[in-house]
Amino acid sequence: MRRCSGRRYETDSHQSGYPWGEIPSLLLPAYGETWLMVAIVMLFVVTQGGLVGVVLF
């Protein structure tokens, strides 16, 4: 469902032109990349937070 100029338009997924069949094959790589980003940020946070905590303590 899209809104345009106050009118309501409905589109069917099979008519949208998007290759919905590729979604399942993209989920696992995206999941892995998300966990990698979270791990990198957490490593940074724990390292910097630990150093700041030791200095302030």
What residue ranges do the domains of the chain occupy?
19-57
pLDDT of residue 20: 86
Pull the structure tokens for residue 21. Answer: 């069949």
The HSE-up count of residue 14 (CA atoms within 13 Å, CB side) is 0
3-state secondary structure (DSSP) of residue 15: helix
| Rounded-to-integer distance, Cα 37 and Cα 15, Å | 34
- pTM for the whole thing? 0.58
Could you report the per-residue pLDDT of 17-28, keeping only the tens digit for each? Answer: 788 888 989 999
Could you report the per-residue pLDDT of 30-50, keeping only the tens digit for each? Answer: 999 999 999 999 999 999 999
**Furthest-apart CA pair in the chain: how many Å?**
62
